Amino acid sequence: MEMLDSFFATEIGTMQIVVRIAAACIFGALIGAEREIRDRPAGLRTFMLVSLAACLFTIIALEVSYLVESTEDASSIRPDPLRIVEAVTAGVAFIAAGAIIRHSGRLEGLTTGAGLWLAGAIGLACGAGFMAIAALVTILALVIMVLFKWLERYLPVTDKD
């Protein structure tokens, strides 16, 4: 395993990286599958890619932090892994905004946009090694997207005027 760790030049460890990437793909796929079943514009592959990208950005941020800490001049360099969270959030928000359209006086795609944003957060959690939190949030997202969609059918609709 040390040979793989040196090949991938990782401090986290190759197996940990594989587990984190796999979890990001699986959790993104679960939410994306729900969107795919509902024939939404962003589906399985989109959600998987968003979650995977966020995971990779997080792993890179952590690895760079470890690399900087191990250098002789570590006291003068202060890595900030939270910047990667901000960058991923901004990038995913841009993609999510593209999923939202105005059609016949109504906004459509809000749930897909929110789901993409959430897939980014789940990918960040997986990249940071918080798979249990990512799994819990994935389950909650599916409950919200499926159960509450069913519940919305029974809520009364009122005029906006």
Give the residue among 46, 22, 47 at the shortest CA–CA distance from 131: 22
pLDDT tens-digit profile of 27-65?
Answer: 999 998 988 898 877 788 888 988 998 898 888 888 878
pLDDT tens-digit profile of 117-152?
Answer: 899 999 999 988 888 899 999 999 999 888 887 887
φ, ψ at 103 (rounded to 5°): -135, 120
Predicted TM-score of the model (pTM): 0.71
SS3 150: helix
d(CA 125, CA 135): 10
pLDDT recorded at residue 73: 62
SS3 103: strand
